[in-house]
Amino acid sequence: MDNLSLVTIIIIVANAIISYKGFGDFNFFEKYKFQIGAIQRGEKIRMFSSGFLHADTQHLIFNMLSLYFFADVVINHLGAFPFIIIYVGSLLLGNLLSYYFHKNEYQYSAVGASGAVSGIIYSAILLQPGMKLMFFFIPIAIPAYLFGIGYLLYSIYGMKNSIGNIGHDAHFGGAVGGYLFTLLLAPWLFQTNMLMIVLLALPIVLLYILKRTGKL
């Protein structure tokens, strides 16, 4: 078993065990989910623990499959330990952005590894922007960088219009985490992938402008 399999399996197993504990134990779920009021009362552990809880089995499977498909790209380029840094950093940054946008909504709550997984996806795209992605509803492969840009633009749209019961802000924050931590850990990308760095930064700049101008 190589580092890729070991690290990925450990994270997937941890998510599965903690999520299934939450499925069957309401008090456990309530104690460790992301919840604005509780965090403001000092329960900072929720900023981390909520990333290992999920709303249901479908939510869990979707996130873990997404992680599995992109994890190898990051680990093959950077190694297992940097992968963990990006995963945890993206989880925390996703929740920090969510906290920032909902800090006055004391009952706001959320769960899921989506922020962390978004960070790994964005990291993989930054490291290997030329890879092609296929989706069952799109009959042709699309470049990974186009998916990354589109993903964040949709997240901004979802945040602005409160679409669905989805933590778009955590997704966006996680992707930004993947972007920033990858550049810190792989500064050589500034020599090899500068155009992609600029292109993938555009949605981040757009979010900043929208927030500064009060349009979000």
Domain limits, the chain: 3-212
Q: Which residues of the chain have pLDDT under 70?
A: 1-4, 135-139, 162-166
pLDDT digits (tens, 9 = 90+) for 122-163: 999 899 988 887 765 566 788 888 888 887 887 778 777 765
Q: What is the reported pLDDT for 171?
A: 86
| CATH label, 3-212, candidates 3.40.50.2000, 3.40.50.720, 3.30.70.250, 1.20.1540.10 | 1.20.1540.10
Q: What is the reported pLDDT for 208?
A: 84
Q: What is the reported pLDDT for 1?
A: 43
Q: What is the reported pLDDT for 131?
A: 85
3 state SS for the chain: CCHHHHHHHHHHHHHHHHHHHHHHCHHHHHHHCEEHHHHHCCCCCHHHHHHHCCCCHHHHHHHHHHHHHHHHHHHHHHCHHHHHHHHHHHHHHHHHHHHHHHCCCCCCEECCCHHHHHHHHHHHHHHCCCCEEEECCEEEEEEHHHHHHHHHHHHHHHHHHCCCCCCHHHHHHHHHHHHHHHHHHCCCHHHHCHHHHHHHHHHHHHHHHHHHCCCC
